Amino acid sequence: MATEQSLILITNDDGITSKGIASLYEAVKDFGEVVLISPDSPQSGMGHAITINDPLRLYPSKLFPGIESFACSGTPVDCVKLGIHQILNRKPDLIVSGINHGANTATNVLYSGTMSAAVEGAMEGIPSIGFSLCSFDSEADFSAAIDIVKSIVESSLKNGIPEGVCLNVNIPDLPKEALKGIKICRQAHAYWEDRFEIRTDQFNRTYYWLSGDFMDIDQSDDTDLFWIAKGYSTVVPTQFDMTHYKAIKELENWNL
Amino acid sequence: MATEQSLILITNDDGITSKGIASLYEAVKDFGEVVLISPDSPQSGMGHAITINDPLRLYPSKLFPGIESFACSGTPVDCVKLGIHQILNRKPDLIVSGINHGANTATNVLYSGTMSAAVEGAMEGIPSIGFSLCSFDSEADFSAAIDIVKSIVESSLKNGIPEGVCLNVNIPDLPKEALKGIKICRQAHAYWEDRFEIRTDQFNRTYYWLSGDFMDIDQSDDTDLFWIAKGYSTVVPTQFDMTHYKAIKELENWNL
């Protein structure tokens, strides 16, 4: 069981004013001492970006009375680094990121600021979880998601997350009674079929907006996309070792 | 062997005016038709960030006479997406990124814009390679690195890079005669022991600069950090599936 003494760091990528981070705070506040550091503006799609060429600012926030909370001028990964190495006086027992407004299934884990914050936590040896609700609506209903978060946080504090791993949790956008359960699975193989909308600005100069369709080329029955579509929440154990071990042998045959 | 018909897309994260990208162009220009799209400003540390809330601009460049080249207002991954889906009229045979000014060994692959461009290429099913020279000097000597790039590009076009994999190539900052050879290996387990320098601006407000020491906690004899230190260039096959498969079983015991 969680003890009063657990220290929990909260962050996200939608920014400190989002409904998702308020919902995450609601879900974890009774599990221990909570400190919150969140970007001062939306940081979706920032992936594992860090701020190295600009100064970082931290502004104490009044949005979460009763706990220490800050808005940060940087990325989600900056928030984690500032939390661990600047704000907290001891290593946190858990980092939670989210609840993201929108799914971070499949290969989206690479673009996701929410998940990159959790990956950064794992790199620092801290149990870390990213949570996402499969709805981009800024006013989405997080009430069912809050229950899922509580259940996974409780289990994580009890069992301990394996070393070198963080959890990528996606929750379908369904009412509580329609949620089927929780599945542990792998990241689906999918990609964005990108398109660029070409527009012209007021000075008659061309600019481009990134757009596209998400293509699931996996179609297996053991992926996050498969289970989400069936009404299950998914937990993908996510690592930061990007080595493709099987390819090492194949490349050795090149005799470079 | 490479044919005249190979279409090669070049990008990087240090920006279009860097010596590293000029060196990469020098290395690959005879392997086929080359198109270059590079950030208009340094994008180090941008990881897999994409630009979704701002328009993207592309400016034709005169820095590479004789080929189509563009400066892009976005990130390295934006450059790859614009290249594939907007500029090129067919799928490229190879994407090369770099040559980065500075190592992208170990877990730095996650922060690296250079490598994220290559990972994005792999996600799109295109053979992709990121190259880095282990020197942050903007005037570093790339002449030995150019030979390594040529050798690896030739082998990649001949053998084909395994599906779902891109190559992370790091080259020691040594004169040609001191380079020992090329090793295929895994990413070392390491992390940044971060520090923040606290400073005060002209309005007496606090700001933070990210700083720190890179900590190799691996110490094995099969990693990129190990071989680089011995004078070898390293090739790490790098994947975009971040699932930690072994942890799936362990998490299933949680009975969530």
Per-residue pLDDT at A54:
92
Q: How do residues A120-139 score in pLDDT, each as one tens digit?
A: 999 999 999 999 999 999 99
Question: What gap in Å lies between CA B246 and CA A1, rounded to an integer?
Answer: 25
pTM of the model: 0.96
Per-residue pLDDT at B219:
86
CA angle, residues B164, B166, B172, in degrees to nearest 5: 155
- The neighbouring-strand residues paired with A56 are B208
Per-residue pLDDT at B2:
46
Average pLDDT over residues A204-226: 93
Distance from CA of A119 to the nearest CA of B (A): 9
Question: What gap in Å lies between CA B219 and CA B237, rounded to an integer?
Answer: 20
* Mean per-residue pLDDT of chain B: 96
Q: Residue B19 to residues B26, B31, B78, B137: CA-CA distances in angstroms?
A: 10, 20, 21, 10
Pairing of strands A33-39, A7-11: parallel
Question: What gap in Å lies between CA B240 and CA B128, rounded to an integer?
Answer: 12
CB interface of B with A, residues 29-88, below 8 Å: 42, 44-53, 55-58, 75, 77-78, 81-82, 84-86
Question: What gap in Å lies between CA B118 and CA B43, rounded to an integer?
Answer: 15
- CB contact (8 A) between residue A52 and residue B44: yes
Question: What gap in Å lies between CA A233 and CA A145, rounded to an integer?
Answer: 9
Per-residue pLDDT at A252:
96
- CB contact (8 A) between residue A77 and residue B47: yes
Q: Retrieve residue A164's tokens.
A: 């070198």
Sign of the torsion angle spanned by Cα atoms A82, A15, A174, A230: negative
> Could you tell me which CATH class the domain B7-187+219-252 is placed in?
alpha beta
Taking CA–CA distances from A199, the nearest residue in chain B reads B55
* Distant-in-sequence, close-in-space partners of A50: CB < 8 Å, separation ≥ 6: A74, A75, A77, A78, A81, B45, B47, B111, B210
Question: What gap in Å lies between CA A123 and CA A116, rounded to an integer?
Answer: 10
pLDDT > 60? residue A3: no
Per-residue pLDDT at B4:
52
Taking CA–CA distances from A191, the nearest residue in chain B reads B123
Among A221, A162, A222, A188, which residue's Cα sits nearest to residue B242?
A188
Interface check for B95 against chain A (CB to CB < 8 A): the answer is: no
The beta-carbon neighbor of A208 closest among B86, B208, B242 is B86
Q: How do residues A24-78 score in pLDDT, each as one tens digit?
A: 999 999 999 999 999 999 999 999 999 998 999 999 999 999 999 999 999 999 9
Residue pair B106/B225 in contact (Cβ under 8 Å)? The answer is yes
Among A64, A84, A112, A100, which residue's Cα sits nearest to residue A9?
A84
Q: How buried is residue A177: exposed, middle or buried, by Cβ count under 10 Å (0-12/13-18/19+)? A: exposed
Helix axes B143-159, B19-28, angle to 10 degrees: 50
- CB contact (8 A) between residue A184 and residue B242: no
Residue pair A156/A169 in contact (Cβ under 8 Å)? The answer is no
Share of chain A above pLDDT 70, in %: 98
Q: Retrieve residue B210's tokens.
A: 């990210």
Q: Which residues in chain B are contacts of A91 at CB distance < 8 A?
A: none
- CB contact (8 A) between residue B235 and residue A244: no
Q: How do residues A132-185 score in pLDDT, each as one tens digit?
A: 999 999 999 999 999 999 999 999 999 999 999 999 999 999 999 999 999 999
Write down the domain spans for chain B. 7-187+219-252
Q: How do residues A102-111 score in pLDDT, each as one tens digit?
A: 999 999 999 9
- CB contact (8 A) between residue A256 and residue B86: no
Question: What gap in Å lies between CA A179 and CA A144, rounded to an integer?
Answer: 8
* Mean per-residue pLDDT of chain A: 96
Q: Which residues in chain B are contacts of A155 at CB distance < 8 A?
A: 254, 256
The residue assigned the tokens 């040529």 is B150
Per-residue pLDDT at A2:
46
Average pLDDT over residues B129-153: 97
CB interface of B with A, residues 162-181, below 8 Å: 162, 164-165, 167, 181
Interface check for A241 against chain B (CB to CB < 8 A): the answer is: yes
Distance from CA of A141 to the nearest CA of B (A): 22
CATH 3.40.1210.10 for the A7-188+220-252 domain, yes or no: yes
pLDDT > 70? residue B141: yes
Q: How do residues B9-44 score in pLDDT, each as one tens digit?
A: 999 999 999 999 999 999 999 999 999 999 999 999
Helices and strands, counts by H and E, chain B: 6, 11
Q: How buried is residue B110: exposed, middle or buried, by Cβ count under 10 Å (0-12/13-18/19+)? A: buried
Q: Which residues in chain A are contacts of B165 at CB distance < 8 A?
A: 244, 247
Question: What gap in Å lies between CA B84 and CA A27, rounded to an integer?
Answer: 42
Per-residue pLDDT at A4:
52
Q: How do residues B219-255 score in pLDDT, each as one tens digit?
A: 899 999 999 999 999 999 999 999 999 999 999 999 9
- The neighbouring-strand residues paired with A172 are none
Question: What gap in Å lies between CA B16 and CA A29, rounded to an integer?
Answer: 47
